[in-house]
Chain A
Amino acid sequence: MKLDDEEHDILAGKAGPVPQQALQHQIKVGDFFGAEDFVPVTQAHIMADTESLGEAGVVWLEGLAAETSGQRRVRIPTITDPRGTDFAKAEWLGQTAAMVDLERRTIAAFEKLGVAMTNTCINYQTIQPPTRNEHTAFGDTGVVIYANSVCGARSNFEGGPSALAAGLTGRTPRYGFHLPQGRRATLRITVDHTPTSLNSWGALGGVIGRLAGNYWAVPVIEGIEGAARSDQLKHFGASMASFGSIALYHLVGLTPEAGRLSDVASPDLPSHRVTKADVEALQKSYHTDDKVDVVVFSAPQLSLYELGDLADLCDGRKLSVPMLAVTSPQVKPDSDRMGYTARIEAAGGSVLSGMCFYQSYAREISEARGWKRLATNSAKLVNILGGYGYRPMLASMEACVDAAVSGRLERI
């Protein structure tokens, strides 16, 4: 990679061992993908739940945080994805003291590195959405796909170590979605139906993610009617990223880079048609049982509007199985102030903050609480949880609340 004078100095250790190590890591990744140089970034977002880090990752972070020479703190605003627990609910979740201790150590290390513990995967709704052409180093695939597609910002998937490296150096290797040519559509999708529910938006994203198939694919989508809401595109993108590892899509006439099809697509792209039946088939494929052990709203964290809708659905109901609603530390105080939390919890639900279900030792929670059959309106969550030993089922928020009341999930 071509380095400027400042990068040469960092690599030579003139800023200290922490940024030096960060730049070495970035060069390794940049060389792998053939990046010619670095691009300055304005924000970084770090995914670092302790189930992923393990003891080894936490020790690695603590090593950086213990460094006393040179620059140890991040150079640009650097924030975090959800943690592996909500400390107030850890015991109820069946999480062990060792898990909670690992979380505390991780937080302490990040704070020494100057990282702001926002603990959110919806920072584009709650902290600061990026602007068009803003280069960022975002972790969490749902954040990246929203930032790239809806905001027109420029980010690759930056895993925890790379996002932290970007925070420490203020730059990232210039490849993939930082380059204009990487943002052109590679396949064309026509849909015959515009979803309304969040689970259907997620299922549509899942179908398109499977069709697109890999990180470098960029679907351009035609046929969506009207203007989609932020929460709808949140579920749509998070699911597409989850099912297909997709980091950017274009909606013709809606997203900023695709005013017209020809703005992002050449005429000869491979094309696919996605029908309402395809979306329903994906949802039905997960409906493997009629009983549920737990209902979870998470992945991504819920917005204030979603919590308001959930509170409306809970009024006057009595839940018979546990129901978790997971949100960000920025939204939770508003949910409390608006009375949404109290209304959900009056019915028997639980509102959790600063974590995300699948990033919180989901396998151990399942074993501790005996939860296997899980209903959710998150297509992303059903895609993930099979590997954790769950039987996840996808349904609307309304159907999920009904299931939490009756213990049974109705067939669609």
Chain B
Amino acid sequence: MSGKVFKARHAMGPTVRGPALVANDGFSARYDLDRIKGVFSRPAHKLAGQSYVGKILVLDTAKGGVATAWMLHEMKSRGIVPLALVLNSVNPILAQGAALGDVPMLAGFDEDITAAIPNGADVEVNPQMNLLRIV
């Protein structure tokens, strides 16, 4: 294995690889997304207007309410879903949503993961090993 790696304390789901979409901002499917168009839609969000579909989202923390627990599953059913979620910290809702939607997720790093991963980097999420790797 090559490339810089980051160890996560919490992990769930299968291994995936793809482009990272990075911002030091929060995540809530209800508050932040236009789930029909597949873009961040809350004007104040640092990723406003950008597509999240097929991206490995690297963000700071879970925000907002409980709807994400259902919404990841619904987004997955239409294929309008992030490839994986990587966060400095999560709340139970994101974990519950990732569990129902089978979306890979890593959380809890020793450094600010949003500062460590360049936007657009090719990254691998490996929940079995609790690892995030820049390819």
Contact = CB atoms under 8 A, between A and B. Distances in A.
Nearest to A51: B67
B11 to A, nearest CB: 7
Contacts, number: 135
Interface stretch (A146-154, A212-220, A251-259, A330-338): A212-220
Contacts of A161: 69-70, 73, 96, 99-100
A47 interface: yes
A40 B30 CA distance: 30
B89 A52 contact: no
Interface stretch (B15-23, B56-64, B117-125): B56-64
B61 A214 contact: yes
Contacts of A305: none
Given A60-B73, A384-B30, A158 B96 contact: yes
B65 interface: yes
Interface in A149-175: 156-162
Contact of A176 (B30, B63, B73, B92): B92
Contacts of B6: none
Interface in B38-54: 41-45
B96 A215 contact: no
Contact of B70 (A25, A52, A141, A244): A52
Nearest to B10: A32
Nearest to B63: A245
A160 B70 contact: yes
Nearest to B31: A387
A47 to B, nearest CB: 5
Given A28-B12, A60-B73, A384 B96 contact: no
A48 interface: yes
Interface residues of A, number: 47
A15 interface: no
Nearest to B12: A32
The listed residue with most A CB atoms (<10 A of its CB), out of B10, B67, B99, is B67
Contact of B66 (A33, A159, A244): A159
Contacts of A245: 26, 61-64, 91
B53 to A, nearest CB: 16
Interface in A357-387: 358-359, 363, 383-384, 386-387
Given A32-B12, A47-B67, A384-B30, A215 B99 contact: no
A103 interface: no
Contact of B93 (A57, A159, A244, A358): A159
B77 interface: yes
Interface string A44-61: 000111011111110010
| Nearest 8 CB-CB pairings of A with B | A159-B69, A54-B74, A56-B77, A215-B91, A387-B42, A52-B70, A52-B67, A159-B96
Interface of A: 25, 28-29, 32-34, 47-49, 51-57, 60, 139-141, 156-162, 176, 213-216, 241-245, 247, 358-359, 363, 383-384, 386-389
29 contacts: A25-B96, A25-B99, A28-B12, A32-B10, A32-B11, A33-B92, A47-B67, A47-B69, A48-B70, A52-B71, A57-B73, A139-B66, A156-B92, A157-B66, A157-B91, A159-B70, A159-B93, A161-B69, A161-B96, A241-B65, A242-B65, A244-B63, A245-B63, A247-B91, A359-B67, A384-B31, A384-B64, A384-B65, A386-B31
Interface of B: 10-12, 26, 30-34, 41-45, 61-71, 73-74, 76-78, 89-93, 95-97, 99-100
Given A162-B96, A245-B62, 16 more contacts: A32-B99, A52-B30, A52-B67, A53-B74, A55-B77, A56-B73, A140-B66, A157-B93, A161-B96, A162-B69, A215-B62, A245-B61, A383-B64, A386-B44, A387-B31, A387-B34
